[in-house]
Amino acid sequence: MKSLTLNESISFNGVGLHTGVKTNITLRPSHIGSGIFFNRTDKSVIIPATWHNVISTKFSTNIASNETEVKTVEHLLSALSGLHINNCEILIDNIEVPILDGSSKVFVESILKKGLKQQDSEQNILEIVKPVKFSCDYGFAELSPNSSKDKGLNINLESSFDGKYEDQDIKISNLNGNYIESISNARTFGFFHEIEYLKSQNLIKGGSLDNAIVIKDKKPLNKDGLRYENELMRHKVLDVVGDLYLSGYPIVGTYKGFKTGHFITVNLLKELFSSNDNYKIHKIN
């Protein structure tokens, strides 16, 4: 697979889910080998989108460099990963990526409208060769080599929303093939009874029914309902795809998890990179 960047720059603006601040971002084509990186234009600081730079994972994935932060990077990274874009500069003039409609749909559709540009170099991929696992008191995630019939990144998630919403599980096979149709439209979500707590933590200042699903008594409060019966789990897949892109590579392997979140996936990446024996980086056709 060739390296990919954008055909031309694309701009977005909106509010951040947690800070409520208004932010402008511009995705700009970038040269071979540059990777995905943020450029905080108001502070003149470059922040590469890698797991080393993660500083917190509480309700969003937040990265920083030189004490300059970009919050809630996961949905934009998910869109770039789903579209196989591996070189892109993200100009951002404030602290948080706009939440837009709560999914990665707006990013994906706008990028596809302007088109992708193939670059004269093959992409490196990261192939899992040894299983790695991260567990904590409520859940776990593991990455293992694909079985011989599986290609690309496969994701198999289970969760239990503890009486808050019906239990759901989802398996997305060969994700590279169905990200745009199956995953990119799934919106972020929260539970009504958690809203006061999140507000007390100074979070979700920009949250509304226009950019998040809110579940109360096992039903969405959003007047148009859900986009998919299992939209919540699909959004969890969207988040996993975004967080895994902090590896810096498209991953070939199988991700399995229970009650996953940003904390679990980022720690799984730390585990993955703790030994060179766990993975192989190479080019594929």
Catalytic residue annotation: 262
Q: How far is the CB of 211 from Zn ion (least distance, A)?
A: 11
Q: Which of 157, 124, 165 is nearest to 241 (CA)?
A: 157
Non-local (6+) Cβ contacts of 162 within 8 A are none
For Zn ion, the closer of residues 3 and 265 by Cβ is: 265
Distance CA 126, CA 115 (A): 25
The β-bridge partners of 125 are: 282
The C-alpha R_g of the chain, in whole angstroms, comes to 18
Closest CA to 20 of 208, 156, 146, 183: 208
The minimum distance between CB 75 and Zn ion, in angstroms, equals 6
Shortest spacing between CB 57 and Zn ion, in angstroms = 12
- To Zn ion, the closest distance from the beta carbon of 242 in angstroms equals 7
Task: Give the distance from CA 237 to its chain's centroid.
Answer: 8
Measured from the CB atom, the residue of 134 and 189 that comes closer to Zn ion is 189
Cα–Cα distance, 106 to 115 (Å, whole number): 14
Residues in contact with Zn ion by the rule CB under 5 A: 188, 239
Q: Which is nearer to Zn ion, 126 or 186 (CB)?
A: 186
Looking at the Cβ atoms of 29 and 257, the one nearer to Zn ion is 257
Pairing state between β 88-92 and 36-40: parallel
Burial 96-108 (b: 16+ CB within 10 A, else e): bbbbbbbbbbbbb
How far apart are CB 132 and Zn ion at their closest, in Å? 23
Using an 8 Å Cβ cutoff, are 271 and 141 in contact?
no
* Residue (231 or 239) nearer to Zn ion, CB: 239
CA atoms within 13 A on the CB side of 173: 5
